[in-house]
Amino acid sequence: MAGSDQINVCESKRVVPLNQWILMSNFKLAYNLLRRPDGTFNRHLAEFLDRKVPANVNPVDGVFSFDIIIDRTINLLSRVYRPANDTEPDATLSTTFSQLKKPVSTSEVVPVIIFFHGGSFAHSSANSAIYDILCRRLVTLCKAVVVSVNYRRAPENPYPSAYDDGWTALEWVNSRPWLQSKDSKAHIYLAGDSSGGNIVHQVALRAVKSGIKVLGNILLNPMFGGQTRTESEKRLDTKYFVTIQDRDWYWKAFLPEGEDRDHPACNPFGPRGITLEGIKFPKSLVVVAGLDLIQDWQLAYADGLKKAGQDVKLLYLDKATIGFYLLPNNDHFHTVMNEIRSFVGPLPSTDCE
Amino acid sequence: MGPYDSSISAPAGSSSTSSSACSSSTKPRQPPDQMDHLLAGAGYKVRSNDLHQVAERLEHLETAMVKSSPVEISELGHDAVHYNPTDLASWVDSLLTELNTNPPAAVGVPTDLPDLHPFPADINMYSNNPPPLHGEFSQQVVTPLEEDVSIRLVHVLMTCAEAVQRGDLSLASLLIDDLQALLGRVNSVCGIGKVGSFFVDALSRRIVNSSQNGVVQDDLSAYENEMLYHHYYEACPYLKFAHFTANQAILEAFDGQDCVHVIDFNLMQGLQWPALIQALALRPGGPPLLRLTGIGPPSPDGRDSLREIGLKLAELARSVNVRFAFRGVAASRLEDVKPWMLQVSPKEAVAVNSIMQLHKLLGPGQPIDVVLDWIHDLNPKIVMVVEQESNHNQSVFLDRFTEALYYYSTMFDSLDACTAQPVKSLAELYIQREICNVVCCEGSARVERHELLATWRDRLTNAGFAPLHLGSNAFKQARMLLTLFSAEGYSVEENEGCLTLGWHSRPLIAASAWQAVPEPSATMGQINHP
């Protein structure tokens, strides 16, 4: 085993910048400590290790944030990120409650991106540093408001808690007068990475059934799976920060007791999946990393959408590993950011950071 | 909660250090100490020049983990105490040490110490309340109308504060009338209605009294002070968290010491100490000789309340066979205390315990410097500092007002959720007095000069102290206690070796531990030399 691990280490180190390798390896090893073989999770240590940042109503690089409870009964928190108003001369003055909820615009379209952070349904929070940074980038990139949902996590809160929370967030966003812009409606996109991408799909499904309009879905390395072992899983197992074993653990923690990975939450177009033919599903941007071991499932997802006649753009990044979008020092990052910007509304091209 | 369905977190005056990358104004050109700024944004401090070394350590750690059994890995997660995950290199090294591979000379690895039983329900001398039940949320529906009114309330509050700042007192007075009217339309039992009324009250006092030199708060009697404090202690977990975290750190710092001396900067009713006495009694190897020096205001009516508390504590200590001595130091202000009053002996290990006291020394004259100096000269094993996590010491009134509005709104929000005491008026009064001091007072009368953890870090470092990190054991126990004693919604966070307790994602108090760095002229030695 030791020999092949050395090879694995060399391989993954070759394809990502060193600081990125350190970040992903740190997560990998820390997460190994947190998953117990009996299926329970060391939540105390997880919260201790997670690097969090507070919200900040004073604009930093043109973005400010504040936390808001969107459902008191379950303490569902979201962090709202907004662009600082350039026309306000004293942009650094203490922002008041009333300004936090100032209507975004009456004349222009201001997209609202509901963001679901990753973490395989078990890790991270809306106030995790890595996701706070990502959401701030999305604000600047898309001139959007971003609402990052602090959904309930497995194993303490398995299926369907995360989906319920996602749905609550969508309803909440849709009903906030101050998130409406042109034509007095909210222009809503759903975005998420890893488990967040999975949540995007499920929430979009519910939206279609309920008549809330979602303009587009952005899925970054979405977490899907299935009972069989695909070729990519076998080929890439243990090589780039992720293992089949840990994927299995997270699915077991999230899915209902006794279910297997062909449950439609895990495998939406599998043997127990439903077709989306004839449904007005939002357009989708699906980003797949070429070194992600679950890519076969992600490609199958994109394929399933396409076969059902849905509008889907697949962005396949050959040499990308998981988490490439967390640090901006690689080409994949910039490629994806450009795609996201084009996807979210017809804005003039500007250079993204 | 109340009419506005938000728990809004406050402006972070100096943002959390984990996002320091964003707030640096210039990007230095790679001096040797340069941190990798991308990792810094993600919350990890690794020097650019150390990246390769850290990567190597991670590889070793992975190899070691692969070689270990699942049981050993589980133990790593369970029994090992983790410290300051932001310092990635040290964290990795500590894990390697735990797995018994060959690390380089790591900073002192902590040993496991007996866990503290923080709130001895059986040895509870002061509280007559039954143990609190886990609260349930009362669901309050927010009507759009109420939300509008509460938004307007805040808007007018800010406008009024601006007018006060500008000196336009006639406008400010008019706005007070508006505010009273708005308060009438809003649910004043909770939420913005409740905390809003305290701010309106504070503003109107400031306006009325501005002809004189600011407001002087009425002094409460010692008894009244204690009552309010006690109710605040019971109604919400902030003080309990402070005491518990401090005791845990003090216990660890006193490991191996036979004579220990705790100096409490605000004895109050001594609520913190039964738990420490009990823990020392139970420590492996037996308890040390414990001296406690309690500082507090002089009693006016011939009572010696300090001594009374001391006697009760002595009785408790005797009952658990801990040799104990108490000394009371009466002083109306902390800056009036002189080190000779504390009678510290060079043979004893000293712990200085300051729960929400140091900020009072930041007023005119900055007595903090003198006090930190003599604390340092006591050569304490540990200085425990717990402070309100907000910047209420800004000289610009409007900024201070805004921060306070955010901070105390959040605190009141958290109070609402605790149902241990259905009627919280005395606890609220305790907080109200703080609000009043921040908003109405100036000069030496303004003692509630809270500052952020980042500022305290700088101050204490400059005064010759080095951090002692609070670890995952204290973190875990704090979290477990919160589920026992409080409503859901409280959150404990780790912040580079310090712990914060807050409401949802907004830290409200911060606990940090320090030790004195020896003067350069003294004999050389490692910081963690016992």
Residue B32 has pLDDT above 70, yes or no: no
The answer to whether B172 and B163 are in contact (CB under 8 A) is: yes
Confirm or reject contact between A98 and chain B (CB < 8 A).
yes
pLDDT at A1: 45
Least confident segment among A299-303, B84-88, B104-108, B378-382 = B104-108
Residue B188 has pLDDT above 80, yes or no: no
Contacts of B8 in chain A (CB under 8 A): 57, 66-68, 97, 100
Question: Which chain A residue is nearest to residue B6, measuring alpha carbons?
Answer: A68
The most confident of A267-271, B185-189, B218-222, by mean pLDDT: A267-271
Contacts of A26 in chain B (CB under 8 A): 44, 58, 88, 92
Collect all residues with Cβ–Cβ distance below 8 Å to B518 and sequence separation of at least 6: B379, B525
Residue B411 has pLDDT above 90, yes or no: yes
Measured over all CA atoms, what is the biggest interatomic distance in chain A, rounded to whole angstroms? 62
Among A19, A60, A97, select the one facing B36 at the smallest CB separation.
A19
State the nearest Cα–Cα gap between B488 and chain A, in angstroms. 8
Amino acid at B287: P
Confirm or reject contact between A135 and chain B (CB < 8 A).
no
Amino acid at B285: G
Q: Return d(Cα B311, Cα B319) in angstroms, integer.
A: 12
Residue B19 has pLDDT above 50, yes or no: no
Q: Return d(Cα A220, Cα B503) in angstroms, integer.
A: 31
- Is the ipTM above a cut-off of 0.85? yes
The number of angstroms, rounded, from the C-alpha of A13 to the middle of its chain's C-alpha atoms is: 25
Q: Return d(Cα B429, Cα B527) in angstroms, integer.
A: 43
Residue ranges of the alpha helices (H) in B379-518?
397-417, 425-440, 453-462, 472-485
More confident position, B20 or B315 = B315
| B494-520 average pLDDT score | 94
The answer to whether A153 and A43 are in contact (CB under 8 A) is: no
Question: Which chain A residue is nearest to residue B475, measuring alpha carbons?
Answer: A48
Contacts of A73 in chain B (CB under 8 A): 137, 139
Interface of A with B in 251-290 (CB under 8 A): none
Collect all residues with Cβ–Cβ distance below 8 Å to B162 and sequence separation of at least 6: B398
Confirm or reject contact between A57 and chain B (CB < 8 A).
yes
Sign of CA dihedral A186, A189, A194, A195: positive
State the nearest Cα–Cα gap between A312 and chain B, in angstroms. 31
Which of these is catalytic: A194, A195, A232, A284? A194
Locate tokens 């379950």: which residue?
A: A74
Least confident segment among A265-274, B157-166, B311-320, B518-527 = B518-527
CB-based contact A327 B38, cutoff 8 Å? yes
CB-based contact B479 A94, cutoff 8 Å? no
pLDDT at B212: 53
Residue A95 has pLDDT above 60, yes or no: no
Confirm or reject contact between A73 and chain B (CB < 8 A).
yes
Contacts 24+ apart (CB under 8 A), A338-342: A339/A285, A339/A287, A339/A313, A339/A315, A340/A138, A340/A141, A340/A142, A340/A191, A340/A218, A340/A285, A341/A141, A341/A142
Contacts of A152 in chain B (CB under 8 A): none
State the nearest Cα–Cα gap between B440 and chain A, in angstroms. 19
Q: Return d(Cα B397, Cα B439) in angstroms, integer.
A: 8
Among B8, B16, B58, select the one facing A100 at the smallest CB separation.
B8
In three state form, how does the secondary structure of B248-282 look?
Answer: HHHHHHCCCCCEEEEEECCCCCCCCHHHHHHHHHH
Q: Which of A283, A152, A139, A150 is nearest to A208 (CA)?
A: A283
Question: Which chain B residue is nearest to residue A127, measuring alpha carbons?
Answer: B505
State the nearest Cα–Cα gap between B506 and chain A, in angstroms. 6
Structure tokens at B491: 């959150």
Residue B18 has pLDDT above 50, yes or no: no
Contacts of A22 in chain B (CB under 8 A): 39, 44, 46, 51, 54-55, 58, 88
Within a 13 Å sphere around the CA of B92, how many CA atoms are in the beta-carbon half?
A: 27
Residue A65: active-site member: no
Interface of A with B in 318-337 (CB under 8 A): 326-329
The answer to whether A68 and B5 are in contact (CB under 8 A) is: yes
Q: Return d(Cα B248, Cα B382) in angstroms, integer.
A: 11
Q: Return d(Cα B159, Cα B200) in angstroms, integer.
A: 12
pLDDT band at B109, cuts 50/70/90?
very low
Least confident segment among B117-121, B245-249, B311-315, B330-334 = B117-121
DSSP B334: G
The answer to whether B185 and B192 are in contact (CB under 8 A) is: no
Cα distances (angstroms) measured from residue B33 to each of A44, A123, A243 = 32, 31, 35
Predicted confidence (pLDDT) per residue in A284-305, tens digit: 999 999 999 999 999 999 999 9
State the nearest Cα–Cα gap between A212 and chain B, in angstroms. 21
Among A9, A77, A326, select the one facing B59 at the smallest CB separation.
A9
pLDDT at B349: 97
SS3 B300: coil
Confirm or reject contact between A314 and chain B (CB < 8 A).
no
Which of these is catalytic: A132, A193, A292, A296? A292
pLDDT band at B317, cuts 50/70/90?
very high
The answer to whether B89 and B56 are in contact (CB under 8 A) is: no
Residue B139 has pLDDT above 60, yes or no: no
Contacts of A52 in chain B (CB under 8 A): 16, 18, 43, 493, 505
Q: What angle do CA A67, B428, A72 make, to 5 degrees?
A: 35
| Verdict on whether the full-model pTM lies above 0.90 | no
Residue A292: active-site member: yes
State the nearest Cα–Cα gap between B152 and chain A, in angstroms. 7
Mutate to test the interface with A, among B408, B505, B506 (most CBs of A within 10 A): B505
Mutate to test the interface with B, among A5, A10, A51 (most CBs of B within 10 A): A51
The answer to whether B412 and B428 are in contact (CB under 8 A) is: yes
Contacts of A21 in chain B (CB under 8 A): 55
Structure tokens at A35: 């998953």
Residue A245 has pLDDT above 80, yes or no: yes
Mutate to test the interface with B, among A48, A131, A327 (most CBs of B within 10 A): A48
pLDDT at B185: 85
Q: How many CB atoms lie within 10 A of CB A257?
A: 7
Number of inter-chain CB pairs under 8 A, A vs B: 202
The answer to whether B444 and B364 are in contact (CB under 8 A) is: yes
Interface of A with B in 200-239 (CB under 8 A): none
Beta bridge partners of A229: none
Contacts of A96 in chain B (CB under 8 A): 154-155, 158, 402
